[in-house]
Amino acid sequence: MSIVNVNAKELHLKISYFGAKGVGKKSSLKSILDFCIPQKITWMCLPFKEPIYGIIIHLGQILNLQTYFHIYHINNESKEDNKILIKGSDGYIFVASLDLKDKDKNHEAFLEMEQLLLEQGQNLLKTPLVLQYHKKDLKKKMSLNQMRMDFNKYNFKDFQTSHLKNSSVIKPLKCILKLTLSQITQKTHF
């Protein structure tokens, strides 16, 4: 998406949270709301087949431009909606549940994300991507080593997050914001 409005001196970037249903994408967005300054964030709901929730975070002035991140969760209910939502994304957070019973649906979602990226002409290895392993407080869960073997053969930045400690979702968000800004500044000369 990365849109530069020269007249308004604004930069707009798009981040998509991807993962299977029920792994923590929407709850991660809601947790982010709790940690942002209210004047700097907007919560929205887009009317797709299944409601899509998102936030817009105003980071202030970066590179002499007012910088806004539009952040959405992709719901995996409708492949057509997913194609629309993923289009133009500048970076991704893939959320995988550490819950043992979610192993298969994590894999299916990751394969779908890879396929959608290919259809959009994006190379997984050249696209800002962060992995968020969610629900680390569960007693019966997959190990970090197992998650890395399953999803992180390319050594993406990865984080374990808690569904009980909302603040843990801030680290993967900060990481993807930095990675995305870094890539945009390398590609674009303002």
Does residue 102 form part of some domain? yes
- How many CB atoms lie under 10 A from the CB of residue 149? 11
What pLDDT band is residue 39 in, cutting at 50, 70 and 90?
Answer: low
Average pLDDT over residues 30-38: 76
pLDDT at 114 over 80: yes
Q: Is 95 helix (H, G, I), strand (E, B) or coil?
A: strand
Beta bridge pairs of residue 16 = 72, 92
Residue 49's nearest CA partner among 15, 88, 75 is: 75
Residue 42 lies in a domain: yes
Q: Is 188 contained in some domain?
A: no
- CATH classification of the domain holding 87: 3.40.50.300
Tell me the residue range of the domain where 109 lies.
Answer: 3-176
In this prediction, residues 133-158 reach a mean pLDDT of 93
Q: Please spell the DSSP secondary structure of 35-55, one letter per residue.
A: HS-GGGEEEEEE-SSS-EEEE
To the nearest 5 percent, what fractions of the chain are helix, strand and coil? 40, 30, 30
For the residues 52-70, what does the mean pLDDT come to? 87
In a domain, 185, yes or no: no
Whether 181 maps to a domain, the answer reads no
Asked whether residue 84 is domain-assigned, the answer is yes
**C-alpha separations of 152 from 40, 66, 76, 178, 185 in Å:** 33, 33, 21, 19, 26
d(CA 174, CA 57): 12
Q: Is residue 72 part of a domain?
A: yes
Kindly state the average pLDDT of the residues 78-102.
Answer: 87
pLDDT band at 160 (very low <50, low <70, confident <90, very high): very high
Going by C-beta distance under 8 Å and a sequence separation of 6 or more, which residues neighbour residue 124?
114, 117, 154
The predicted structure's pLDDT at residue 158? 97
Query: If you count DSSP H runs as helices and E runs as strands, how many of each does the chain have, helices first?
Result: 5, 8
Q: What's the number of domains the chain is made of?
A: 1
Residue 101 lies in a domain: yes
User: Is the pLDDT higher at 79 or at 132?
Assistant: 132
